[in-house]
Amino acid sequence: MEERMVPSFRTEDDFAIPASSPSHSLKRGVDVVLAAFLLVLSSPFILACAALVRISSRGPALYFQTRLGRFGKPFFIWKLRTMTHDCEKTSGARWAMRNDPRVTPIGKFLRITHFDELPQLWNVLKGDMSLVGPRPERPEFIPILEESMPRYRERMKIRPGVTGLAQVFLPPDTGIPSVRKKLQYDLFYIANTSLFLDLRLMIATVLQAIGLPSFLVRGALFLPAAANIEKPLETPRISLNTPQVIDKRSFESQPEVSA
């Protein structure tokens, strides 16, 4: 496989936006207050879920993994483990699949409800993430995604989120076509971000996690219509038949590390 290097985004000039602004400062303040409150409130539940993960499958309950944040800055994201331990040891980095055999029974429940994301409240407090924003991507996938989608780096203008517009509307990524669709939602969110939209997305996340139908939740909260979000992006520069399994050894990145 041709060697590719993870792009290094070290200055805000690459993104053509200021490092800070009144709206960013306000959003950050809301993030800190709400994340602290939610982390205290959810701590007993996180511990209970961690215990279930630990006793139901081999390996640790928590793991951390390298992701790229605002301006492409790497950070460790925290999650409850939902897959078998060391599942990428032989396959290399790869997207999840529908009915992925690597997902444990407890992990399936955690993924459906998004409870596996709760430890990321700590990432929000640290400043790595926001409560609402695009999902942070793994550095292993960045070269092929940027080659396929020239506007992909634009989603790193802001801090990545625990939840977001794409997370509320779309299922998890399974390959380049699904990431391209997600990018439309991420760019729409960045262009229309507001505290009111963030509040509605957080409420939608909770309501969907407890099992309410997505279309009812989105309608009740007057979220943007999919038809207004899904705008054509630039023509991809690589074939959509590009293999979806990427060899970790081709990138300078840190592997998944269990805790």
Q: What is the pLDDT of residues 111-136, one digit of tens each?
A: 988 899 999 999 999 999 999 999 99
Bridge partners (DSSP) listed for residue 76: 66
- % residues pLDDT > 90 (the chain): 66
- 203/168 Cα distance (integer angstroms): 10
pLDDT (average), residues 190-219: 95
Which residue in 112, 134, 130 sits closest to 120, CA to CA? Answer: 130
Among the listed ranges 128-132, 165-169, 186-190, 246-250, which one has the minimum average pLDDT value?
A: 246-250
| pLDDT tens, position by position, 156-168 | 999 999 999 999 9
Q: Which helix (H) or strand (E) holds 198?
A: helix 195-209
What global pTM score does this model have? Answer: 0.80
Contact assessment for residue 138 and residue 164, using Cβ atoms and an 8 Å cutoff: no
